[in-house]
A and B are shown apart, each in its own frame.
Chain A
Amino acid sequence: MAQLILNHLTKDFGGGRPAVSNVSLTVREGGFLALLGPSGCGKTTVLRMIAGFEQPTDGSIDYGERRLSDASRALPPEKRNMAMVFQSYALWPHMTVAENVGYPLKVRGISGETWRRKVGEALALVKLTDYAERRPAALSGGQRQRVALARCLVTSPDVVLLDEPLANLDQHLRKSMEETFRIFHERSGATMVYVTHDQSEAMALATDVAVMSEGRLVQLAAPADIYARPEGTVVGGLIGRGSILKVPVAEHAPRVLGWPQLREVIGSAPAGLHRDVLVRPEHVRPDAEGIALEVKACVYEGERFALTLALPDGQALKAYGDTAIPVGQKANFAIASAWRL
């Protein structure tokens, strides 16, 4: 019932291009939205406007029936019943772990046995019960992250905001924290907005992915949709691996192109309008019936080889192979499917 609605949201700090420009989207209750984009694309500004730290210059933010912010007024962050995991975790160094986690309860006037029980539950969920009396300085990065998460849990907020929460953790910890976030989302039922520049994080966690570029919302879709049917070169280049080829195809050609159509236009170079076509490496297969392409690079990645191939007109094409192919050799490949951007 209570959706988080951003309506034509704009933020102009007054320096040329607006940081956020005309972003409209709706996060359904209990949804998990990932805001994805390169640094400087405005995703953090959107998050800070949802939290109430910035006020939009135009447009509005609503939670259900309630107006949270628009250009003329804003509900202060302390009255939004939201919680946030900051990139720096923002743990208060002068409080113990339990005091950090229990602070939102203390501010709401909850103390005594209820306070202890709720803090205990939150710490148990992030497996930090034994650390309750320590100071944040005595914890590792992953543990600090979990304290910050427990602080979000403790008051059952309506919306939980996460600002690149995994950016400061190493690869191994990231995987286990992703799992913790997923469990957290399932249990709390809170609406979550997650800012990241790492597309694999976004794909693994979110129910919806919003891709932003230069302050604008480029595409909003479920992870599988956005992978299979990206809109435009920005999303096509950002999500997954793939090669964007300039290929002469007709304007009203279907979006999904099969090998018969591709075979005609690749290699030969008929005149006509060239369009961007996305080819995923897993769709490039060795095929005796295919066309001969020269191998430009062959890199061992553990589970497979990553190949860079050269099309007859010189464009690069990424592919995977089960065996190494010496650089400079030609081999026959076919493209099972491609997506017109």
Chain B
Amino acid sequence: MRSRPRWLRFSNAGVSRTSPVKPGASPAGEPRWLVPFVLACLFLLCALPLISLVKAGFAGLASGNSIGVLTEPATYAAIRNTLLTATGGMVISVVIGALFAFAVALTDIRGKLFLSFAFMLPMMIPPQVTALAWVEMTGPASPLLKTLGIAPPLGSPQPLYSLFGISLLLGVQHAPLVFLALKAGLSASPRDGVEAARLSGASPFRVFLDIVAPLAAPGLIAGAAIAFVSGVGNFGIPAILGIPAGITVLPTLIYTRLASFGSGTFGEIALLSSLIAAIAAMGLILQQRALSGKDYRIIGLSGANAAFSLGRFRVLVELGLAAILFLVLVAPFAALIASSLVPAYGVPLTWQTVSLRAYEEILFRQTMTLSAFGNSLFLASSAALGLLVVAAPTAYLMNRRKGVLAGTLGILIEIPYALPGIVLAVAFILTFAAPLPLLNVSLYGTIWIILIAYFSSFLAVSLKPVMSAFLQMDPSLEEAARLSGAGFFRRMRDVILPLVAPAAGASIILVFLIAANELTVSALLWSAGTQTLGVAIFNLDDSGSSDLASALSVLVVIMVMALMAALETLANYLPEGVLPWRN
């Protein structure tokens, strides 16, 4: 007989030491604190803000102090404007996004990776920067148009300061969301399905109509719904375009109400954010109804597409897509760069007048921009790293456990994902306005309230890459390590973490990228000394320093592109679907 190592002993004396488990439960083998830890984090980040919002809303209704806000004409106008701009933006997003998705997913055009990467940029660039760039591109004061000599005469109105302008920019900003959802849906029309239809005698156009379009419908509907909900909650674009023109939408209404603080303010903003949440929920319910009965599971092979050869039209389509990219991406940012290089507002840009004064000003002189850089870097890196501590165990539990626990975690995570950022920000104001119990310190007005709100807002962003890494990992890899004798921390260190490391890296960069440029949440939560980059750009533009705002925006866009390029170099080590611009 082979001698048995000591650690194998499992005598009756040893039995009593092992933890009793509920009959039928799987021996999970993770430390006991893991489940309570994850549940506590998710409750704090997901459930608590929603509870505070609902509580404050009811309190506002009950006290009668705030109920007046619901009957004010300004509120009706804001609801109307919100619905109009969000719907208009959705239509524009669907048109542009669908065009790119069909071209990239189904045809044989060249340079797909470049097109996808460039098309994703508007989503990664913060909305206030997009709005600023477009303002600098059009309008009578545009340095670019002045330099080219095609600027409209002084005194003519800025065409983007209108409901149409807001809709157009919301459309451009959220078109990548439609693109992504539709591209995911198009992978459900695999090459063999299209080829079978061709062999059945259908022309390419018939195939598109009969096979591709029905399979793409769920993706299109989902994309349209996301674009609508994002439009309802967007703050940066209506703030820059709407406030000068006196056009108010719900998010900007909340912002102005909070600025003119009064006795009923908390109740009012709670009610107004509930309105936003209700409109967003309405959009999602419409999506559910439109999607019902359209659940086409992928059968057989998938992934291989490029089923339609465009022949002579290929060059035309390529040129068309390039023209759209030029219009929505290159031209606005050329205008932004031009504005950042003029020596003073209104001076035309020539080789003689080019000046780096604005950059000098924001990088070396203005303490406000410097502290904004510091704050945003601190917030973004803390959120990116800190969220991983929550996201990794959550993703692990959701993949390893089935049943009630996984279901509860799934619902908790959905809450901040479905709520627009502005609603979340209001919820955090309401949660932390009063001093913390026991400690008697107030987080309100400090940088910490922004950090906690970021944790909540970007949990879904952080979770997704890690979650897909776990989903794509064969569970038997961990089981084999267990049978090899490795305990929880041992197999985490030797097997799990090395395998999810690239996805964790992507998660850190993605959260950093989005958090560093964030405006919606910090616009409501900042106070003196805690302004972020997004707030700094908004305030500079608001106070008429469009040259400084442009220079800061140029730096932000460069940072966005650098971080996206960093992600691209990681691409080969990442699970599929983490980088949105990759197939």
Query: A271 interface residue, CB < 8 Å from B?
Result: no
Instruction: Give chain B nearest CB distance to A183 CB in angstroms.
Output: 19
Contact A90 B23 (CB under 8 A): no
Query: B528 interface residue, CB < 8 Å from A?
Result: no
State in angstroms the CA–CA spacing of A283 and B29 once bound together.
54
State in angstroms the CA–CA spacing of A1 and B4 once bound together.
14
Contact A104 B484 (CB under 8 A): yes
Contact A103 B479 (CB under 8 A): no
Contact B29 A76 (CB under 8 A): yes
Query: A92 interface residue, CB < 8 Å from B?
Result: yes
Query: Chain B contact residues (Cβ within 8 angstroms of A): what range?
Result: 35 or more
Instruction: Give chain B nearest CB distance to A83 CB in angstroms.
Output: 6
Contact with B along A155-184 (1 / 0, CB 8 A): 110100000000000000000000000000
Stretch at the interface among A50-58, A111-119, A206-214, A292-300: A50-58
Q: Quick one: which of A14, A56, A94 contacts B498, CB cutoff 8 A? A: A94
Query: B299 interface residue, CB < 8 Å from A?
Result: no
Query: B437 interface residue, CB < 8 Å from A?
Result: no
Q: Knowing A55-B26, A90-B474, A108-B5, say if A78 contacts B21 (CB, 8 Å).
A: no
Query: B10 interface residue, CB < 8 Å from A?
Result: yes
Contact B485 A108 (CB under 8 A): yes
Q: Quick one: which of A66, A84, A94 contacts B480, CB cutoff 8 A? A: A84
Query: A73 interface residue, CB < 8 Å from B?
Result: yes
Task: State which residues 163-188 of B face A: CB under 8 Å.
Answer: none
Contact B483 A57 (CB under 8 A): no
Q: Quick one: which of A52, A55, A79 contacts B7, CB cutoff 8 A? A: A79
Q: Knowing A66-B10, A86-B476, A94-B498, say if A55 contacts B484 (CB, 8 Å).
A: no
Query: A201 interface residue, CB < 8 Å from B?
Result: no
Q: Quick one: which of B10, B23, B24, B483 contacts A82, CB cutoff 8 A? A: B483
Contact A86 B484 (CB under 8 A): no
Instruction: Give chain A nearest CB distance to B494 CB in angstroms.
Output: 7
State in angstroms the CA–CA spacing of A153 and B27 once bound together.
25
Query: B490 interface residue, CB < 8 Å from A?
Result: yes
Contact B24 A12 (CB under 8 A): yes
| Chain B contacts for A58, CB-based, 8 A | 23
Contact A94 B24 (CB under 8 A): no
Please, which residue of chain B has its CB at the minimum distance from the CB of A56? B24
Contact A80 B7 (CB under 8 A): no
Contact A55 B480 (CB under 8 A): no
* A-side interface mostly: loop
Q: Knowing A67-B10, A68-B10, A93-B499, say if A55 contacts B487 (CB, 8 Å).
A: no
Query: A318 interface residue, CB < 8 Å from B?
Result: no
Contact A55 B476 (CB under 8 A): no
Q: Knowing A67-B15, A75-B18, A93-B499, say if A55 contacts B485 (CB, 8 Å).
A: no
Contact with A along B1-31 (1 / 0, CB 8 A): 1101101101110010011110111110100
Q: Knowing A53-B479, A78-B29, A151-B484, say if A92 contacts B8 (CB, 8 Å).
A: no
| Chain A contacts for B481, CB-based, 8 A | 92, 103
Query: B495 interface residue, CB < 8 Å from A?
Result: yes
Contact A84 B18 (CB under 8 A): no
* B-side interface mostly: loop
Query: A88 interface residue, CB < 8 Å from B?
Result: yes
Contact A52 B27 (CB under 8 A): yes
Query: A200 interface residue, CB < 8 Å from B?
Result: no
State in angstroms the CA–CA spacing of A92 and B23 once bound together.
32
Contact A107 B486 (CB under 8 A): yes
Please, which residue of chain B has its CB at the minimum distance from the CB of A102? B484
State in angstroms the CA–CA spacing of A103 and B478 once bound together.
12
Q: Quick one: which of A2, A67, A68, A88 contacts B474, CB cutoff 8 A? A: A88
Contact with B along A56-100 (1 / 0, CB 8 A): 111000000011110111111111111110111011111000000
| Chain B contacts for A71, CB-based, 8 A | 23-24
| Chain B contacts for A155, CB-based, 8 A | 484-485
| Chain B contacts for A86, CB-based, 8 A | 476, 479-480
Contact B494 A1 (CB under 8 A): no
| Chain A contacts for B8, CB-based, 8 A | 79-81
Task: State which residues 459-476 of B face A: CB under 8 Å.
Answer: 474, 476
Contact B27 A74 (CB under 8 A): yes
Contact A83 B10 (CB under 8 A): no
Task: State which residues 24-42 of A face B: CB under 8 Å.
Answer: none
Contact A84 B483 (CB under 8 A): yes
Interface centre among B1, B19, B27, B481 (most CB of A within 10 A): B27
| Chain A contacts for B480, CB-based, 8 A | 84, 86, 90-92, 151
| Chain A contacts for B316, CB-based, 8 A | none
Instruction: Give chain B nearest CB distance to A100 CB in angstroms.
Output: 9
Query: Chain A contact residues (Cβ within 8 angstroms of B): what range?
Result: 35 or more
Please, which residue of chain A has its CB at the minimum distance from the CB of B498? A94
State in angstroms the CA–CA spacing of A112 and B572 once bound together.
34
Contact B23 A104 (CB under 8 A): no
Interface centre among B7, B480, B495, B499 (most CB of A within 10 A): B480
Query: B70 interface residue, CB < 8 Å from A?
Result: no
Contact B477 A103 (CB under 8 A): no
Query: B582 interface residue, CB < 8 Å from A?
Result: no
Contact A104 B479 (CB under 8 A): no
Contact B23 A57 (CB under 8 A): yes
State in angstroms the CA–CA spacing of A158 and B18 once bound together.
21
Query: B401 interface residue, CB < 8 Å from A?
Result: no
Contact B474 A81 (CB under 8 A): no
Q: Knowing A57-B23, A71-B23, A92-B495, say if A79 contacts B10 (CB, 8 Å).
A: yes
Contact B495 A78 (CB under 8 A): no
Instruction: Give chain B nearest CB distance to A326 CB in angstroms.
Output: 37
Contact with B along A6-36 (1 / 0, CB 8 A): 0000011010000000000000000000000
Task: State which residues 90-141 of A face B: CB under 8 Å.
Answer: 90-94, 103-104, 107-108
Contact A92 B27 (CB under 8 A): no
Please, which residue of chain A has its CB at the minimum distance from the CB of B501? A94
Please, which residue of chain B has its CB at the minimum distance from the CB of A11? B24
Interface centre among B1, B26, B498 (most CB of A within 10 A): B26
| Chain B contacts for A76, CB-based, 8 A | 27, 29, 482, 487
Contact B21 A72 (CB under 8 A): yes
Contact B26 A78 (CB under 8 A): no
Please, which residue of chain B has its CB at the minimum distance from the CB of A76? B29
Task: State which residues 234-268 of B face A: CB under 8 Å.
Answer: none
Contact B18 A103 (CB under 8 A): no
State in angstroms the CA–CA spacing of A279 and B12 once bound together.
51
Please, which residue of chain B has its CB at the minimum distance from the CB of A1? B1
Contact A55 B21 (CB under 8 A): yes
Instruction: Give chain B nearest CB distance to A176 CB in angstroms.
Output: 23
| Chain B contacts for A68, CB-based, 8 A | 10
Q: Knowing A51-B479, A107-B490, say if A81 contacts B4 (CB, 8 Å).
A: yes
Task: State which residues 101-117 of B face A: CB under 8 Å.
Answer: none
Q: Quick one: which of B10, B19, B26, B485 contacts A53, CB cutoff 8 A? A: B26
Instruction: Give chain A nearest CB distance to B352 CB in angstroms.
Output: 58
| Chain A contacts for B474, CB-based, 8 A | 88, 90
| Chain B contacts for A77, CB-based, 8 A | 27, 29, 479, 482-483
| Chain B contacts for A93, CB-based, 8 A | 499
Instruction: Give chain B nearest CB distance to A167 CB in angstroms.
Output: 13
Instruction: Give chain B nearest CB distance to A195 CB in angstroms.
Output: 13
The 3 closest A-B pairs by CB, nearest first: A104-B484, A90-B476, A90-B480
Contacts from A to B (Cβ < 8 Å): 1-2, 11-12, 14, 51-58, 66-69, 71-84, 86-88, 90-94, 103-104, 107-108, 151, 155-156, 158
4 other A-B residue contacts (CB within 8 Å) besides A77-B482, A151-B484: A53-B482, A69-B27, A81-B485, A91-B480
Contacts from B to A (Cβ < 8 Å): 1-2, 4-5, 7-8, 10-12, 15, 18-21, 23-27, 29, 474, 476-477, 479-487, 490, 494-495, 498-499
List 26 A-B pairs, Cβ < 8 Å.
Answer: A11-B24, A52-B27, A55-B23, A55-B26, A67-B15, A71-B23, A72-B21, A72-B23, A73-B18, A75-B18, A78-B29, A79-B10, A82-B483, A83-B483, A84-B479, A84-B483, A86-B479, A88-B474, A92-B477, A93-B499, A94-B498, A103-B486, A103-B494, A104-B485, A107-B486, A155-B485
